[in-house]
């Protein structure tokens, strides 16, 4: 099988690709800096939505978490859009698949944001609607399970992991964390979906490989860029 190299594999083209790669890495790190604090801020409210509704309220805390999740949406989509010009040279199908997965994930995150803002409105306008507050909190939990819980293992784990493995854009040993961690996390969250275990059960085992994969990928790309000048197999853009 014949190999061909990028037309821009030297000079300014490589420099531009490395800037793009580092931007991808920074955006990936931003997803950690927004999603984790947002989850920590929302957890007390999700644990006791009725208490939030009838108490003094944590409106500012929820609004801050919502803002962080809005930034998370921007960063998520940014990782896919920024990577696409480089990734499509290796596999157009995988590149499009990663963009699609990120968009689907962000739709669920946006829905969760709306449910949290609805909870804030209830606190102001109808503090006695505890049943509705419980429902909104439950819906937020479901959006997290369906979006970051089920879509991320496919998009960031399997699709992105295999794309990086097959292209050699990052060290291949690192990509196994994604290709193993993605299915592992998917199994863990499917178990939650079908009521086989609680979300907290064996959370570290299911989450750890995928978490490490995304963290290492972001740090590697931000610090060293990607191996953009590696050869591309002919026909990979189809």
pLDDT of residue 128: 82
Q: If you compute the radius of gyration of the chain from its CA atoms, what whole number of angstroms results?
A: 20
Res. 58 pLDDT band, cuts 50 70 90:
confident
Mean pLDDT on 52-57: 78
pLDDT of residue 237: 46
Whether 106 has a pLDDT exceeding 90, the answer reads yes
Q: Which domain holds residue 222?
A: 3-233
pLDDT of residue 57: 64
- ∠ CA 106-111-116, nearest 5°, is 125
Distance from C-alpha of 89 to C-alpha of 141, rounded to nearest angstrom: 37
Res. 233 pLDDT band, cuts 50 70 90:
very low
pLDDT of residue 180: 96
Task: Examine residue 238 and state whether it is found in any structural domain, yes or no.
Answer: no
Per-residue pLDDT tens over the stretch 119-174: 999 988 888 889 999 999 999 999 999 999 999 999 999 999 999 999 999 999 99
Task: Examine residue 197 and state whether it is found in any structural domain, yes or no.
Answer: yes
Per-residue pLDDT tens over the stretch 1-43: 333 333 344 556 677 899 999 999 999 999 999 999 999 999 9
Those residues with Cβ within 8 angstroms of residue 15's Cβ, 6 or more apart along the chain or in another chain: none
Task: Examine residue 67 and state whether it is found in any structural domain, yes or no.
Answer: yes
pLDDT of residue 55: 78
**Lowest mean pLDDT: which of 50-54, 123-127, 161-165, 227-231?**
227-231
Which structure tokens are listed for 128? Answer: 């006695």
On the 0-12 / 13-18 / 19+ scale of CB atoms within 10 A, 48 is middle
Task: Examine residue 178 and state whether it is found in any structural domain, yes or no.
Answer: yes
Task: Examine residue 115 and state whether it is found in any structural domain, yes or no.
Answer: yes
Distance from C-alpha of 160 to C-alpha of 171, rounded to nearest angstrom: 13
Give the count of domains, the chain.
Answer: 1
Q: Are 148 and 110 in contact (CB under 8 A)?
A: no
Per-residue pLDDT tens over the stretch 186-222: 999 999 999 888 887 666 789 999 999 999 999 999 9
Task: Examine residue 78 and state whether it is found in any structural domain, yes or no.
Answer: yes
Distance from C-alpha of 65 to C-alpha of 29, rounded to nearest angstrom: 17
Task: Examine residue 117 and state whether it is found in any structural domain, yes or no.
Answer: yes
pLDDT of residue 232: 55
Q: Which residue has the higher pLDDT, 57 or 134?
A: 134
Task: Examine residue 164 and state whether it is found in any structural domain, yes or no.
Answer: yes
């Amino acid at each position: 099988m014949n190999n061909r190299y990028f037309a821009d594999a030297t000079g300014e083209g490589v420099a531009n690709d490395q800037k793009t790669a580092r931007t991808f890495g920074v955006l990936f790190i931003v997803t950690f800096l927004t999603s984790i604090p947002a989850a920590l801020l929302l957890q007390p409210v999700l644990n006791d939505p009725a208490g939030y509704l009838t108490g003094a309220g944590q409106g500012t805390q929820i609004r801050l978490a919502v803002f962080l999740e809005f930034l998370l949406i921007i960063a998520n989509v940014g990782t896919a859009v920024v990577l696409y010009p480089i990734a499509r040279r290796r596999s157009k199908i995988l590149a499009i698949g990663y963009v699609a997965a990120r968009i689907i994930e962000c739709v669920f995150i946006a829905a969760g944001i709306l449910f949290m803002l609805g909870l804030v409105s209830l606190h102001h306008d109808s503090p006695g609607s505890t049943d509705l507050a419980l429902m909104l909190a439950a819906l937020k939990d479901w959006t997290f399970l369906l979006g970051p819980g089920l879509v991320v293992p496919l998009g960031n784990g399997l699709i992105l992991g295999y794309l990086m493995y097959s292209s050699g854009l990052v060290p291949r040993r690192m990509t196994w964390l994604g290709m193993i961690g993605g299915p592992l996390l998917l199994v863990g969250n499917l178990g939650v979906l079908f009521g086989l275990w609680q979300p907290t059960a064996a959370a570290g085992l299911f989450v750890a490989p995928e978490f490490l994969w995304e963290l290492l990928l972001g740090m590697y790309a931000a610090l060293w860029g990607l191996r953009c000048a590696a050869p591309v197999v002919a026909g990979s853009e189809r």
